[in-house]
Amino acid sequence: MNAADPATLYPQHLATLRARADEALLRSGHEHLLIPSGRRHYQLFDDRDYPFAVNPHFKHWLPLTRVTDSWLVYTPGQRPKVIYLQPFDYWHVVPEAPNGWWVEHVDVHVIRTPEEALPLLPGPAARCAILGEANSALGDYVPNNPAPALDYLHYQRSYKTPYEVALMRVAQRKAAHAHRAAERAFRAGAGEFDIHMAYCEAARQDATEVPYQNIVALNTHGAVLHYTELDRDPPTESLSFLIDAGASHCGYASDITRTYAADRGSEFQSMIEAVDAAQQAMCAGVRAGADYRQLHVDAHLSLMGILKDFGVLKVSPEAALATGVSAAFFPHGLGHPIGLQVHDVAGFAASDRGGTIARPEGHPYLRMTRVLEPGMVVTIEPGLYFIDMLLDEVKKNGHAASVDWARVDAFRPYGGIRIEDEVLCTDGAAENLTRPAFAG
């Protein structure tokens, strides 16, 4: 097995989690850490369940995303214990017997009903830090989610272990392969729904398995930041294609965005290329000690420089930023932490004891405000959009003279541009996890 094989990296990952759990329990004043995998949620007035989403803390310890009513139990000084539900059931496929790279490193107890976990849980419940949803309660074992433990564990989750990075690389490769299939479908004239289906087929994941709902947007739909409607019929003419879609692997998410012009010789294609070059420079800025808030502000200036070059802006990038005009064209944040969750925890954490770092004034949608450190993985996703509602606000706020509206009209039919990669902060140069996945 090579050095990037998760099986070889898991023991050290588990040792790291045990050390973090020791400190979290010390801070919260508890003796045992209990993490339920979660229980199914059911639709209102119905017996149909929603797609199951495992507790992120559970899948941090174990590469298990489909087992319900199971538990991870950790007591300092002891091997972790996994209480694994394998029910007698003829309505559903029963989880297979515990197997994989994790089994030999933990004590596994197979149960047939959720209640069989009770005698296997350490007691009394008051001495346990129980991390999970309220509906995961079992007898006296009710999730209490102590803040000192959660603050510490969430903060530490920002620093990915080599095991986690290896799993994230696989998620990147799955998504990149599917992105290429989606582009081919677009070039062949497919509509949004069929492009989406081509993506899922190539990723080998359906809508319940990908980490978030795919954004597949043609033409002006690219100006809707979270467009998920998926028109069934292709437009009369496809001018542009924006796809924001990821893949999952062992509970870890990828999140990738690309934008394409139907006409590779068009001015819009030139703008895509300019944004791509700027985005790569932003990715290179993911360095230890860099303030993500400043990266976000610098991204505004860079993107407004592109609009200035293309004749859309009539004022300087600095003036567009100061007046809020830049936010009409780039209304979201530069990116976010990613890992076990697409928008991973602790993006605003002031320290491992709580507190928050505020967003810069005038930038309410930024999802990361921390100073970057080695081990962090963040997305870098600058965008330029032509959104009528926001452009109307520019006029209402008295800044219409800052924009060449004829140039806006020329680009409006294309919707917008967003390009997104995931980047690992190291002790040296930034490591882009996404671009190699497309090159392979």
According to the annotation, is 96 in a ligand binding site?
A: no
- 108 vs 82: CA distance, rounded Å: 5
Strands 107-111 and 81-85: parallel
- 300 vs 393: CA distance, rounded Å: 18
According to the annotation, is 420 in a ligand binding site?
A: yes
- 222 vs 239: CA distance, rounded Å: 11
Structure tokens at 186: 């677009």
Structure tokens at 36: 């339920």
Given a contact cutoff of 8 angstroms between Cβ atoms, the answer to whether 37 and 70 are in contact is yes
Structure tokens at 19: 């050390």
User: Which residues have CB under 8 Å from 197's CB, separation 6+?
Assistant: none
| Beta bridge mates, 99 | none
User: Which residues have CB under 8 Å from 55's CB, separation 6+?
Assistant: 35, 36, 37, 38, 131, 132, 133, 136
Burial class of residue 175, CB neighbours in 10 A (0-12, 13-18, 19+): buried
Question: Look-up: residue for tokens 């190539």?
Answer: 202
According to the annotation, is 336 in a ligand binding site?
A: yes
Binding site residue list for Mn(2+): 244, 255, 336, 381, 420
Binding site residue list: 244, 255, 336, 381, 420
